[in-house]
Amino acid sequence: MKLFDFHCDTPFALEKHGEPLTDNNRHISLKKVENYDSYGQLMAIFTQKSLPEEVAWGRFFVIREDFYSKMTEKTALCHTFADYEKAISEGKHPFFIAVEGGGLLCDKLERLTALYEHDVRFLTLVWRDADCIGGAFNTDVGLTDFGREVVKKCFEMGIVVDLSHASDPMAEEVLTMAEAAGKAVIATHSDSRAVYAHPRNLPDDFAKRIAKLGGTVGISMAPQHLGVNDYANIDIICDHMLHYLEIGLEDSLTFGCDFDGLDTLPEGVENVSKIIDIADALRKKGVSEEQIEKIFYKNAERFLKENF
Ligand SMILES: [Zn+2]
């Protein structure tokens, strides 16, 4: 089985702990993905909300450089679907670069161009609280004027806007803008609010609108977003996936595990190698092989082909 995952914090974790990508004590390493026919990943650069925004801007370059120094001949930095296909054909792991938390733009729109020039093709607008872009899931704050400009410029430049972590008012406005512009937006790592009522999770209405625009919704492994008392296991993960399938996300459902960004993981999912066990669980619950392949990589490939 091939796997493509839409969210991890591995570059941040490797820099923080001074570990290599090849083999390490983190959730993701090249050794831990050997059981997949291919493994593609959006490598998000997370610059920490606790840092002053100007410091976060500098951290982006430090974490990026550190991560690039840890990539090997088995990995390929991608900007386009053609890059992705080339990497796969050469037996390499295709990686795209994302930024989690737009606060580092510090009201400077030209920084978005700089991010694009430094390989960034996905932007998670916010992370927590409110910043120059607008409010995250723990606020009722929508987009700021600057946030609106950022979204418009992302649409123009070809940076995909990620609604994971956004407040409901922000998600509502971005979706309306995307619908008017005919642009796909995504939720890289967002579980279902209908299954578990956590403000970080995605309401059905938003999930369906993302799907209608041709976007994707990734299942996160965060136990605190999956089930009560911060407990989750593979059955509970499947509940979220089955619900998304039920509401019509067959062509949009993906993984966005958030590996290396979580302190705890669901029982049975110790690291990226275990995601394959979710395929078996889905089979037992009657999900078709075609649907499982879509979730594991075909929906990702469809999205990349349509947008890059
Ligand atoms: Zn996140």
Kindly report whether the global pTM for this prediction surpasses the value 0.95.
yes
Q: How confident is the model at residue 50 (pLDDT cuts 50, 70, 90)?
A: confident
> If you average pLDDT over residues 199-204, what whole number do you get?
98
**Whole-number pLDDT of residue 290:** 98
> If you average pLDDT over residues 160-171, what whole number do you get?
98
**How far does residue 265's CA lie from ligand 1's centre (Å)?**
14
Q: How confident is the model at residue 48 (pLDDT cuts 50, 70, 90)?
A: confident
Q: Which of these, 68, 42, 39, 16, lies nearest to 308 by C-alpha position? A: 42
**How far does residue 89's CA lie from ligand 1's centre (Å)?**
30
Q: How many residues does the chain have?
A: 308
**How far does residue 90's CA lie from ligand 1's centre (Å)?**
31
- Range 284-295 burial, b when 16+ CB lie within 10 A, else e: eeebeeebbebb
> If you average pLDDT over residues 31-51, what whole number do you get?
92
Gap between the Cα atoms of 75 and 69, Å rounded: 12
Question: Could you read off the pLDDT of 244-303 as tens digits, one per residue?
Answer: 999 999 999 999 999 999 999 999 999 999 999 999 999 999 999 999 999 999 999 999
**Whole-number pLDDT of residue 278:** 98
**How far does residue 17's CA lie from ligand 1's centre (Å)?**
19
Q: Where do the domains of the chain lie, and which CATH numbers do they carry?
A: 2-307 (3.20.20.140)
**Whole-number pLDDT of residue 130:** 94
**Whole-number pLDDT of residue 52:** 77
Residue 190 half-sphere exposure, CB side, CA atoms within 13 Å? Answer: 31
**How far does residue 262's CA lie from ligand 1's centre (Å)?**
9
**How far does residue 127's CA lie from ligand 1's centre (Å)?**
7
Q: How confident is the model at residue 15 (pLDDT cuts 50, 70, 90)?
A: very high
> If you average pLDDT over residues 136-165, what whole number do you get?
98
Is the pLDDT reported for residue 53 higher than 90? no
Gap between the Cα atoms of 146 and 193, Å rounded: 28
What is the distance of C-alpha 89 from the center of its chain?
24
Per the CB < 8 A criterion, the answer to whether 14 and 26 are in contact is yes
Q: How confident is the model at residue 1 (pLDDT cuts 50, 70, 90)?
A: very high
The proportion of the chain whose per-residue pLDDT surpasses 90, expressed as a percent, equals: 97
Is the pLDDT reported for residue 47 higher than 90? no
> If you average pLDDT over residues 234-238, what whole number do you get?
98
**How far does residue 186's CA lie from ligand 1's centre (Å)?**
13
The proportion of the chain whose per-residue pLDDT surpasses 70, expressed as a percent, equals: 100
CA distances from 58 to 38, 54, 150 (A): 33, 7, 19
**How far does residue 222's CA lie from ligand 1's centre (Å)?**
9
Per the CB < 8 A criterion, the answer to whether 120 and 97 are in contact is yes
> If you average pLDDT over residues 87-97, what whole number do you get?
98
**How far does residue 286's CA lie from ligand 1's centre (Å)?**
30
